[in-house]
Structure formats: C-alpha cells, structure tokens
Amino acid sequence: MSIKEGLHKKAGIIEAQLNTYFDTHDNSYQKELHDSMLYSLLNGGKRIRPVLLIEIGELFGAKKEDLIDFACAIEMIHTYSLIHDDLPAMDDDDLRRGKKTNHIVYGEAMAILAGDGLLNFAYELMTEVSLKKNSYNYLKAMKEISKAAGHQGMVGGQVADCLSEGKVGTKETLEYIQLNKTSALLTCALTAGGCIAGVSEMTLNDLRKLGTAVGLAFQIKDDILDIESNESVLGKPIGSDEKNRKLTYPSVFGLEASKAKVRELTDEANRILINFDGDTTFLESLVNYLCNREY
C-alpha cells in the first residue's frame, strides 16, 4: 500500500468517527447548523492532524479508541479555522478543496455559527472524554490543544497574517505567522497524542521539535504549491497569496531557498523520528509525503 493509500485509509477512520457525533435529524434548527458543520468537516481534508495524533499516541503505547475523540476534536478546530478564514471579511475564498466554501453554500451568518459550533464542540467532546476517563493525561492533552489553538497560537498567527497583508514584512513576522498559524495546531496534535500515552517531558519536547519542523515544512510547501501547482490539482485558485500580498516564505526568500528549507526541515523531522523506539515507518513516510506532496 502506498503512503497515499495508507493515509487515505486512516483518514477514512477519522471521517467515520466524525459522522457519529451529529444527529442531522433531531431538530429542524439544529439540522441546518449540523449540516453546515458537517459540510466543512467532511469536505475531504487529508486529516493530517488527527492521523498524527493517533500515530504518535499509538507509537507510545496508547490505544486507538482512547485517542480518536481527541483526534476528531483537533480536526474540528482545524475545520472551524478554515471556515472563518474563508469568510468575506477574512480571505474571501469561494473554493476549498474543489468545493464551495461554507459561507457560499450556507450564507455568512451560518458559516460564522458553524465555525463557533465546531470550536465549542471540540472542547465539549474533550471535556466529556476527560471526565469519563478521569485521567490527568487527557487534561494535559486538552491544555496542549487549547494553548495551540488560541490567542497565543493559531488565532494569534491568523491575526498577524491578516495584519501583514499588503505590507513589507520582516523575517520575524513571517516566522511568527508560520509558527503560530500552521505549526502550532500541527504540533499540538503530536504532543496531545503523547500526553494521552503518558510520555515523559523529554519526549514531549522532542514531539514539539518534530511538530515545528513538520509544520513549517508543510506551510512552506503550501506556499510553494500556491505558486507552482494548478487549480484543478490544488482544488483552489493558485496565486492567491500573491494576489492578497501575503507574507510567505517564497515571497521573502524566493522559490529555490524555500525548496531547500523544506528539504532541510524534512531531514530534521526524520532525524527526530528515527530516534523514537518502536515502528516509525508510517510516520516517516507521512512526513516525506507531506513535504513532497502535489496538493
């Protein structure tokens, strides 16, 4: 099985689980909200964050059934951020993964509320699981996720991204945006998986370094694809960063330096991974795939 097929199979498990949380037949009002939440949630993402959470958790001895709710919670947080990012007041995007964005289908008000609903539901779910398991490890995982998703993480990065549009940006600003807007949530998928498995502080630190390397490589690759790919492969218009005058790695350092940086970060990630005990074959392939992907 190729890594693409392997990832697709694991993504299928996440999607099946995501589908179990919403009863779209319960109430005429909630139905439209649930439809809107599920529309974006099931819009064919790669499920990188939840898959990483589960893979790392399993690598360090946790069971899939003890990891999957938190994995889905991270995917909900990721999805809410995409719905809000796509809004007219933000990036004003009509397409996401080849499909109409949430507000194009459900209207702006519902898109805002669907995002709010997903963010809140992620915490509702994590709280319920933590309560059921009554274990310190889950609360630790929730802390990793809440810090990464918030004003000192993803939301902060998104603000910096918005504020930097159309301005001449510094390397420091670029680093702040990439570390917080993308890397933070990807990193917390790894550390949350580690927390649930009860890893040591030393391993948590390694997971943080790994997440930062993979997150930065992933984002720079994203920026490269926005220049070099095409709309039918990417599922969204290319050249949008240049159009919106976004601060990206290629816009500051150029395309060749960006490609070299992706290679450097991929190597770093692999160096960390092979030092872990246990079978890291899939994780290594996943990291290489993410950093060399075509979309």
In the complex, the residues that contact a copy of itself under the rule CB under 8 A are 27, 29-30, 32-34, 37, 80-81, 84, 87, 89-90, 107-110, 112-113, 115-117, 119-121, 123-124, 127-128, 130-131, 134, 136, 139-140, 142-143, 146-147, 149-152, 155-156, 158-160, 162-163, 173, 176
The residue (of 37 and 262) whose beta carbon lies closer to a copy of itself is 37
Residue pair 192/74 in contact (Cβ under 8 Å)? The answer is yes
Whole-number minimum distance, CB 213 to a copy of itself, in Å?
23
The residue (of 146 and 288) whose beta carbon lies closer to a copy of itself is 146
Whole-number minimum distance, CB 8 to a copy of itself, in Å?
29
Whole-number minimum distance, CB 90 to a copy of itself, in Å?
5
The residue (of 21 and 295) whose beta carbon lies closer to a copy of itself is 21
Q: Which residues pair with 96 in a beta bridge?
A: 99
The residue type of 60 is F
Whole-number minimum distance, CB 89 to a copy of itself, in Å?
4
Tokens, residue 109: 């008000």
Tokens, residue 295: 């979309």
Residue pair 4/289 in contact (Cβ under 8 Å)? The answer is yes
The residue (of 47 and 84) whose beta carbon lies closer to a copy of itself is 84
Whole-number minimum distance, CB 189 to a copy of itself, in Å?
16
User: DSSP string covering 117-172, please?
Assistant: HHHHHHHHHHHHHHHHHT-HHHHHHHHHHHHHHSTTTHHHHHHHHHHHTTSPPPHH
The residue (of 113 and 204) whose beta carbon lies closer to a copy of itself is 113
Task: Give φ, ψ of 99 to 5 degrees.
Answer: -120, 160
Distance of CA 263 to the CA centre of its chain: 20
Write out the E strands in the chain: 95-96, 99-100
